[in-house]
Amino acid sequence: MRKLLISDYDDTLFTDEESLTKNLEKIKEFRENANIFVIATSRNFASIMEEIKKYNIFYDYLIVNVGAGLFDNHGKMIYSNFISNNERNEVEEFLKNYTKVEITRYGIVEEQPYASDKIVGYKIKGDLELLEEINEILKKNLNNFEIILKKEEKKLFLNHKDNTKEKAVEKLIKLFPEYKNYKILVVGDDNVDYEMIKKYDGYRMKNSSELLVKNISKFVNFVGELI
């Protein structure tokens, strides 16, 4: 049976350059056997392409911005889901009340400068106490967003609930129905990978977030081991 492997990038496919080299050797063999390799990352397209060019990474598809965009290996965007005008206005109306935080608006291809109708998410940096306040209010008022507070980094992330890695995988299979017959393998290390791993009975990295360590029993030391 042919296989479709979806791997997170940071701290999964790439943990260090030596491990990446080993992973890429296995992925080369994997693809030569008519299997499909997908990178699914929280990075935007420009950021992950820097890594791909730097390390000469071969792949078939890219899932970027935690599922907001899907690209083929020619750099063509084959799916995107931007925040609607109404949703953007709702977020912006709230955020204008907070002048003591740094706000980054994410696009799929690049960060600022961005087109106002091409936003897929927000990153808010600032004092932790203020971020906790914003976090509580947003969770009560923004039903269409996944809100993630990373206390240790003093960052708050807003992503649309429809933009997830597992939903992007579903979109890929819908666009290319032949993949329905492939065995799906997934691997990741962070909370944003959890639902994807759970849905496809996948694997976590040995060194993963607390959520994954507590709830995902199957793990690998490096991606090549899974292959």
Q: Is the distance from CB of 41 to CB of 133 less than 8 angstroms?
A: no
Taking the domains of the chain in order of start, what are their residue ranges? 3-80+163-226, 85-160
pLDDT at residue 128 in the model: 95
What are the distances in angstroms from CA 121 to CA 18, 22, 52? 33, 33, 23
**Tokens linked to 226:** 């899974």
Task: Say which DSSP state 223 is in.
Answer: H
- Phi/psi region, residue 83 (left: phi>0; alpha: psi -120 to 50; beta: rest), is beta
pLDDT above 90 coverage of the chain, percent: 85
pLDDT tens digits, residue range 17-36?
999 999 999 999 999 999 99
Q: H or E segment at 133?
A: helix 128-141
pLDDT at residue 114 in the model: 56
- DSSP, collapsed to helix, strand or coil, labels residue 160 as strand
pLDDT average, residue stretch 209-215: 96
pLDDT tens digits, residue range 140-184?
989 999 998 989 899 999 999 999 999 999 999 999 999 999 999
Q: What is the DSSP string of 3-48?
A: EEEEE-TBTTTBSSHHHHHHHHHHHHHHHHTT-EEEEE-SS-HHHH
What is the rounded distance in angstroms from the CA atom of residue 7 to the CA atom of residue 38?
A: 6
With residues binned 3-state (H G I as helix, E B as strand, rest as coil), the percentages for the chain, rounded to 5, are 40, 25, 35
Residue spans of beta strands (DSSP E) within the chain:
3-7, 36-40, 61-64, 69-72, 77-80, 102-106, 121-125, 145-150, 155-160, 183-188, 203-205, 219-220
pLDDT at residue 53 in the model: 97
pLDDT tens digits, residue range 56-114?
999 999 999 999 999 999 999 999 999 999 999 999 998 898 999 999 888 887 654 45
Strands 121-125 and 3-7: unpaired
Residues ≥6 apart with Cβ < 8 Å to 79: 69, 70, 168, 171, 172, 175
CATH number of 85-160: 3.30.1240.10
Residues ≥6 apart with Cβ < 8 Å to 166: 67, 195, 196, 199, 200
CATH number of 3-80+163-226: 3.40.50.1000
Whole-structure pTM value:
0.91
Q: How many CB atoms lie within 10 A of CB 77?
A: 14
For residue 135, give the amino acid letter. N
Peptide bond before residue 113 is cis, with ω within 30 degrees of 0:
yes
pLDDT tens digits, residue range 172-193?
999 999 999 999 999 999 999 9
